Amino acid sequence: MRIDLHAHSTASDGADTPSQLVRRAREAGLDVLALTDHDTVSGLAEATAVARETGITLVPGAEISCSWRGISIHMLAYLFDPGHAEFARERDLLRDDRTRRGRAIVERCRELGAPITWERVREIAGDGAVGRPHIARALVEAGVVATIQDAFSPDWIADNGRAYVEKYTLEPTRAIELIRAAGGVAVFAHPGARKRGRVVGPEVIAELAAAGMAGIEVDHPDHDEDTREELRGLAKELGLLVTGSSDYHGSVKPNRLGENTTDPAVYEEIVARATGAGPVIPTCST
Ligand code: AMP
Ligand code: FE
Ligand code: FE
Ligand code: ZN
């Protein structure tokens, strides 16, 4: 069983539609894929329909924007009830504030001389929750930077870069509380991704474990070998589940589907702990 528990679609900052994503996951030889768009479940209906006929098991999820004392962190939420009112309301707030903040980042970029427009960014994002990768694509298109990665520099939209604007985020303990209230399972996404900005220390991970977080993503493209070993040790110490995933975003990022995977026993444990929803099991197997 090949299990990838973190991927994005056009419902947030991925480049593949939910249908394309599910089909590509099958082509990549995956048996289980989690759809974890940033702050939204709007891609799940389409992904569910396609997964049923494509023969892949789909784990409904989301990646919730949090921050701890100014450090941006992401909490993966699996198998929660999407109808849980309070959690749904928070996702709406998070998603809506991405629009306000996207406009503000575009404004700063313009002040810094980049000829990009909000209209174009909105077009690139389509119906998806707006994120910095959409703005990065506009910056590339306008010839301001050569690559998306270059847009994530201190000169432009990196964390605390010249054109950076904060967005509404949740306290991670609050996110964990909401995810669990909705019957879901919380896993800390890429906790050691230092190349993206500051990361939290092991004492914070311990606090979150005490608050009911179930696991941490250890095998992730943004983690080097030393980071993985440290995190694996910490997970063992704290009794946390260890997951692995690609954080696939389609052509806008180099991450390949299935480049990291999760142990089937860990996946089974996540499913066993969830009470909000079950995985979508295919009706045919091709
Ligand atoms: P946002 O959620 O709008 O703050 O944007 C964060 C997203 O930008 C992440 O989920 C990644 O997809 C992407 N991202 C963050 N840092 C980088 C980076 N250094 N290079 C490329 N993409 C990045
Ligand atoms: Fe992303
Ligand atoms: Fe993330
Ligand atoms: Zn992600």
**Splitting the chain (286 residues) into consecutive groups of 10 residues, what average pLDDT does each group show?**
98 98 98 98 98 96 97 98 98 98 98 98 97 98 97 96 98 98 98 95 98 98 98 98 98 96 98 98 72
Residue type, 45: A
Q: Where are the beta strands (DSSP E) in 144-258?
A: 185-189, 215-219, 241-244
3-class DSSP assignment, residue 152: coil
CB 14 near ligand 1, within 6 Å: no
Report the pLDDT value the prediction gives residue 283, as an integer from 0 to 100: 82
Ligand nearest to the CA of 95: 1
Q: How are beta strands 71-78 and 57-68 bridged, if at all?
A: antiparallel
- What DSSP character marks residue 252? G
Q: Token digits for 75?
A: 């909490």
13 alpha carbon – ligand 4 mean position (Å): 9
Q: Listing from the earlier edge strand, what are the strands of the sheet with 215-219? A: 3-4, 32-35, 57-68, 71-78, 185-189, 215-219, 241-244
Nearest CA to ligand 1 atom 15: 196
Residue 265: per-residue pLDDT:
98
Contacts of 69 by beta carbon, 8 Å cutoff, 6+ apart: none
Residue 286 has what pLDDT? 52
CB of 259 closer than 8 Å to CB of 29 = no
Residue 133 C-alpha to ligand 1 middle, in angstroms?
6
pLDDT at 284: 63
**The predicted structure's pLDDT at residue 12:** 98
User: Which pLDDT does position 273 carry in this prediction?
Assistant: 98
Protein residue with its CA nearest to atom 16 in ligand 1:
196
